[in-house]
Amino acid sequence: MLSNIGIPGLLLILFLALLVFGPKKLPEIGKSFGNTLREFKKSTKELTDDVVEEMKEVTGVVNDNN
């Protein structure tokens, strides 16, 4: 979805963000967005690891019964 924006679209979005939030607030917003994204990635990795572990346990139990 974001790959279709291109350089001109990205520059327009950054310019509009600068107009709306101002130069002092924009770095703070970027930092909080980065922290949120990092936490989201961490949570999804943990969830994926839990699901994989559960699947290994389930398939291990099924294979022992055969």
Q: Angle 10-12-13 (CA atoms, 0-180°, nearest 5)?
A: 65
Measured CA to CA, the distance from residue 31 to residue 3 in angstroms comes to: 22
Domain assignment present for residue 31? The answer is: yes
- Tens of pLDDT along 18-43? 899 888 898 898 899 999 999 999 99
3-state secondary structure the chain: CHHHCHHHHHHHHHHHHHHHHCCCCHHHHHHHHHHHHHHHHHHHHHHHHHHHHHHHHHHHHHHHHC
Task: Give residue 62's pLDDT band: very low, low, confident or very high (50, 70, 90).
Answer: low
CA separation for the pair 14, 30 (Å, rounded): 11
Determine, yes or no, domain membership for 26. Answer: yes
Residue 48 located in a structural domain: yes
pTM of the model: 0.58
Write out the residue range of the structural domain in which residue 65 sits.
22-66
